Chain A
Amino acid sequence: MNPSILSVKDVHVEFRVNQTKAWPWSAPGIVRAVNGVSFDLQPGKTLGIVGESGCGKSTLIRAIAGLAPMTGGTVHLDGQPIDYGSKSRLQDLRRQLQMIFQDPIASLNPRMTIREIVAEPLIYFRPDLSSIDRTNAARDMLDRVGIADHQFNRFPHEFSGGQCQRIGIARALVAKPRVLLCDEPVSALDVSIQAQVINLLKDLQSELSLSLIFVAHDLGVVRHISDDILVMYLGGMMETAPAGRLIEAPHHPYSQALLSAVPVPDPRAKSTPQVLEGDLPSPLEQQQGCLFQSRCPKRFDACKTTRPSLEATPDGKSACLLAGS
């Protein structure tokens, strides 16, 4: 196996919040947003992270980018541990690792032209470049994502959502990072535009040999772009496996339920969604045993007391007590 470019070990993210429905002076609760997630990202590959809202998928990648406080665990980039406490090390990290966001319009400064927006990262990451070189680099990058020459001096509000996402991609890639974190990059876009952006990301990935982490809730999109998929539930990691295997033969009961619920665009396919009972438990409550046990159709007594660790399945890992059998 190649040495991984990004290696994430046992990451925890916790937020202290005032407990709802309690007195203001009562002890704050703790939301365990990410609960011990580990994975390795190989160079040039794509890891898809899926899960429902509130499962911690966005918080996880924000923590990796240094945008959310990591309360435990380590992240290695190229074998070097990342020190999130040091500002200069963080700047170094962000030269290598960039992010694109869900809302394409809100993530661009409305008072800057798109040429300024795309050239700005170079001021910090490439101080050796002259301003003319920076402008030229921005121009090349914008051209590469399909924004025409005559539009460079326009402002973000003059562009559509799909174009703004292209500009966001140009800004992230202008300093030639090696890892791109994508937080639901296409969920705000219409299907006809979504396909354009996915194709663009795939082309840029092979051109620039980028490694991608792609967070999304749309499993069809994730399967299309990913080599491996990681399934999260309530902050914890349920299963990870190569994309095709995970979609066709999910091992973990949660992955099975999630996949059976995806509507298939084929009127002849008789899908029978496996309807999960109940709702997502509050992340404020400390869960005993398996994170999924309150809704799992296959639970048995041991699930209530034992937190399953990630066990190897054929070509993947699953956090289920049934994984061995």
Chain B
Amino acid sequence: MTPHPKPPLLSVRNLSIRFRTGDGMVHAVNDVSFDITRGQKLAVVGESGSGKSQIALSIMGLLARNAQAEGEILFDGSNLLKLPTSELNNIRAREIGIIFQDPMSSLNPYMTIERQLGEIVELHEGASRSTARKRALEVMDAVRIPDARNRLKSYAHEFSGGMRQRVVIAMALMCQPKLILADEPTTALDVTVQAQIMQLLDDIQRDLGTSIVLITHDLGLVAGFCEDTLVLYGGRIMEQAPTLEIFEKPGHPYTRGLLRAVPNIGDPAAKLLAIPGSPPNQRRAIASCPFHPRCVDAVTDCAEKLPQLDGGNSKRACLRPVEELT
């Protein structure tokens, strides 16, 4: 493999996440590896249950108690999965920020926005109350909340959904982290507000050089925002490639199926080609391609062998050569 031009900022190596539940083990993430470089915008695409959010949570050390994570998440030479909470707290917010899907439940209803933003720099950087207030005001301006000085005194419920998500982005930006994990940041928002928030994230990446991981199910959003895309299914990476290639020369039957199943507003004539069947049961560890029961291109080998993620700049995990796919 050719060496990366830039060393990776964060490197996920053979990450597997399992959950112990009353019904047995749930294999949420299986052997996932990828890198994020400085200033990169990476999309992690998948349907519900594909494990995309659990990857973000494991990076932040926020996995549920019944989770077991294996593998490595390397950041600045240390494995985040093994760090004690006290050391992890030096990385959370300062180095890696996270934006959740639902802005209302990510904010404390009892705290003013000023306290909520200020608390972050007081805790992580030991800033004084007045420095914290000044920084909160700057960041509120940066995320373009109008009348920021007065709005600092408000509580979360006094903001609209789009403004709340701006506050949550402001929280993630308080310590100017190198990496922001955005877990479905616009799913709870309307399209016109979504456009505003995506523009804001784009500006942040450009102005501050922050790397952004966009976790989403919306392929339209990915097309307009990220240079690179990683497609997950059943907790495994199916394909990882530059976004342009994912859309124009998708190399995996699942990616192809997804693209054909989305109604394209510009091309209504095309009939929607649904992917038959339903998502995999993750109660069992699967030793074959997780997509094979729904795959139109599956051959007998697909049910027996586990395809490895191969390739240089664009990688795919499929036993069949690209040319043979329908």
Contacts and interface: CB of A to CB of B under 8 A. Distances in A.
A217 interface: yes
Nearest to A274: B195
A190 B48 contact: yes
Nearest to A146: B276
B223 A53 contact: no
Most chain A beta-carbon neighbours within 10 Å: one of B217, B222, B224: B224
Interface string B257-269: 1111111111010
A77 interface: no
Given A160-B278, A266-B247, A261 B195 contact: yes
A285 to B, nearest CB: 14
Interface size classification for chain A: 35 or more
A202 to B, nearest CB: 9
A273 B195 contact: yes
B268 A223 contact: yes
A265 B246 CA distance: 11
B191 A261 contact: yes
Given A220-B262, A261-B191, A199 B268 contact: no
Interface residues of B, number: 47
B196 A275 contact: yes
B217 A190 contact: yes
B120 to A, nearest CB: 25
Contacts of B161: 53
Interface of B is mostly: helix
Contacts of B274: 192-193, 195-196, 198-199
B263 A198 contact: yes
A72 to B, nearest CB: 27
Most chain A beta-carbon neighbours within 10 Å: one of B161, B220, B247, B260: B220
Given A190-B48, A191-B47, A267-B243, A52 B191 contact: yes
Contact of A280 (B160, B219, B264): B160
A107 to B, nearest CB: 19
Contacts of A194: 261
B299 interface: no
A276 to B, nearest CB: 5
B313 interface: no
A309 B272 CA distance: 37
A264 interface: yes
A163 B265 contact: no
22 contacts: A192-B275, A192-B294, A195-B261, A196-B276, A219-B191, A220-B264, A221-B263, A223-B265, A224-B263, A243-B268, A247-B268, A261-B191, A261-B192, A263-B195, A263-B198, A263-B220, A263-B221, A264-B264, A265-B220, A265-B223, A265-B264, A266-B266
Interface of A: 52-53, 160, 162-163, 190-196, 198-199, 217-221, 223-224, 243-244, 247, 257-269, 271, 273, 275-276, 279-280
What 10 A-B pairs come out closest when comparing CB atoms? A263-B220, A273-B195, A195-B274, A52-B190, A190-B47, A195-B261, A192-B275, A261-B195, A196-B274, A224-B263
